[in-house]
Amino acid sequence: MLAAQFTKKRTWLVIPGIALACFFLAGTLGRPLHAAQAAPISKKLIKQGQNIFEHTPDKASQYVGSTLSCSDCHINGGTTEFAAPVNVAQLYPLQSKSAGRTLTLVDRIQRCFVRSENGKPVPADSPVMTALVAYITHLSQNEAKGQVPKGRGLVPVPELTGNPSRGASIYQAQCSMCHEANGEGIPGSFPPLWGPHSFNDGAGMYQIPKMAAFVLHNMPQSSPGSLTAQQAIDVAAYVHSQPRPKLDPANSKY
């Protein structure tokens, strides 16, 4: 009788005991998982990403076919308004008009590698991609999900027709002192605008209105904003008429 009562009492205690154990187990298992999700991206990875962004041919040489760094177009490490700043991670995945499909941030970066860098697609799980995504995510940390940041993309330009021969004179007078008369720039100082080390004909910058928009707001680097829209279109039309690499058809799906 006494023994039976004792057993009963123990059963009575076992149930809350199990419940308590589950609670603690869930706590210990749940906590590190939660911490990992909320953890800030490591500073080291962000720094690596920034380094790749600013010295792309050097730090990601196996994927790059030009002498262009991401930051030659995405000025100041991708932080300058209307120079296609990259504080845009919160917008992805995104339906892209030019690609005709939904792009993740990784897809978008691959697109710039294959076209703007005249290179190869970077595998999604590679250290180079992981670091670039970390850097771009870090730059986007203060942007609300889906929020289009001020200064995204490039400035609007009126629809004007470019005149390449007028553009040639503008180029000689306002661009060639940095980008050189042959358009090839000076490696490490001034990026190429055409020739074998430039972006290929699948790049956004190859489109005359896009280059004009970039130039209108950001060039000449010594006095940005000094050209008229017509001059920007003319000089873009001239640059467009010069030779450059072709997009490898095997990469056109990117």
Residue 110 engages ligand HEC in binding (rule: CB under 6 A): no
Contact present, 119 and 59 (Cβ < 8 Å): no
Residue 168 engages ligand HEC in binding (rule: CB under 6 A): no
Burial of 100 (0-12, 13-18, 19+ CB in 10 A): exposed
Contact present, 154 and 84 (Cβ < 8 Å): yes
CB nearer to ligand HEC: give 136 or 208.
136
Residue located via tokens 């990117």: 254
User: Which one of the spans 4-12, 21-29, 186-194, 245-253 is the region binding ligand HEC (CB under 6 A)?
Assistant: 186-194
Task: Out of 126, 180, 190, 241, name the contact with ligand HEC by CB under 6 A.
Answer: 190
Residue 153 engages ligand HEC in binding (rule: CB under 6 A): yes
Which is nearest to 228 in space by CA: 213, 216, 243? 216
Residue 75 engages ligand HEC in binding (rule: CB under 6 A): yes
Q: How far is the CB of 49 from ligand HEC (least distance, A)?
A: 9
Q: How far is the CB of 36 from ligand HEC (least distance, A)?
A: 25
What DSSP line would sit under 83-128, residue for residue? S-----GGG-SEEETTTTEEE-HHHHHHHIIIIIT---PPPTTSHH
Instruction: Give, as ranges, the residues between 10 and 49 that touch ligand HEC (CB under 6 A).
Output: none
Which is nearest to 140 in space by CA: 241, 16, 41? 41
Residue 117 engages ligand HEC in binding (rule: CB under 6 A): yes
CB nearer to ligand HEC: give 53 or 254.
53
What DSSP line would sit under 213-235, residue for residue? HHHHHH-STTSTT-S-HHHHHHH
Write the interaction track for ligand HEC spanning residues 192-231; mark x where CB under 6 A is met and - where it is not.
xx-----x---xxx----xx--xx---xxxx----x----
* Distance between CA atoms of residues 190 and 100, nearest Å: 33
CB nearer to ligand HEC: give 7 or 98.
98
- Is the torsion defined by CA of 116, 119, 121, 127 positive or negative? negative
Q: Write out the residues near ligand HEC by the rule CB under 6 A.
A: 53, 56, 68, 70, 72-75, 84, 86, 88, 91, 108-109, 112-113, 116-117, 132, 136, 152-154, 174-175, 177-179, 190-193, 199, 203-205, 210-211, 214-215, 219-222, 227, 235
